[in-house]
Amino acid sequence: MKRALASVIVLGLWMWFCSYWYVCGVKDLCEEKEVPAGGIVMVVDPPVMEEKIPEPEPEPVVKEEPRPEPLALSEVYFIFNTTLIKNLSVLDRNIKSILRYVEENPTAMVYLTGHTCNVGPERNNFNLGIKRAEAVRDYMNNNGVIGKVVIMDSKGSESPKSEGETDVDRMQNRRVEIVVKVPE
């Protein structure tokens, strides 16, 4: 029994010493105070200052401006089996509209899609559609639409505007569609 009591006392002293060493030695939270003549020291914990954590500032709300509507322009028509433009006056008006649109929307892109009538092999029609789109692009570059991103495509005779078999119907299919829009 004496041994158990001695063990408890030693353990208690050991715990007190370790706590004192940890608080005063490691954490350095003890202040050395002079002991007054009476020998009684009153320890008062200093007031705890609450650290104010600043609240995070709300993220600014970014309002997305509505994307402008695409500009679909009048179609440019061609002479049979060539890249010769039939209606240059329409293309000239289109160029003015393109320049206004691009001035207001600097990231706008010009999309040119070439079409042909259904006469001839599809491979030739596809190539002719590309050449027609290139002809429109070149004309636009020579008339002020320079440095704008132009994307060209050809549908060949796959997307006819008119299904008829007359010369007038076929003439309506020999065209380049022009669309100007801000990419998504």
> How far is Cα 118 from Cα 158, in angstroms, rounded to an integer?
8
As a 3-state breakdown, the chain gives helix, strand, coil percent values, each rounded to 5, of: 40, 15, 45
Tokens of 109: 């892109």
Pick the closest to residue 154 from 116, 121, 108, 118 (CA basis): 116
User: Domain spans of the chain?
Assistant: 71-181
> How far is Cα 47 from Cα 20, in angstroms, rounded to an integer?
21
pTM of the complete model:
0.63
pLDDT attached to residue 49: 64
Report the run of H or E that residue 151 belongs to, with start and end.
Answer: strand 149-156
Per-residue pLDDT of the chain (184 residues; tens, 9 = 90+): 777 777 878 777 777 666 765 666 555 666 655 555 555 655 556 666 667 777 888 888 777 777 888 988 889 999 999 999 999 888 889 889 988 898 888 889 999 999 999 999 999 999 999 999 999 999 988 988 876 788 999 999 999 998 888 999 899 999 999 999 988 8
Neighbours of 39 (CB within 10 A): 6
CATH code: domain 71-181 is 3.30.1330.60
* Cβ neighbours of residue 86 closer than 8 Å, sequence gap 6 or more: 76, 77, 78, 79
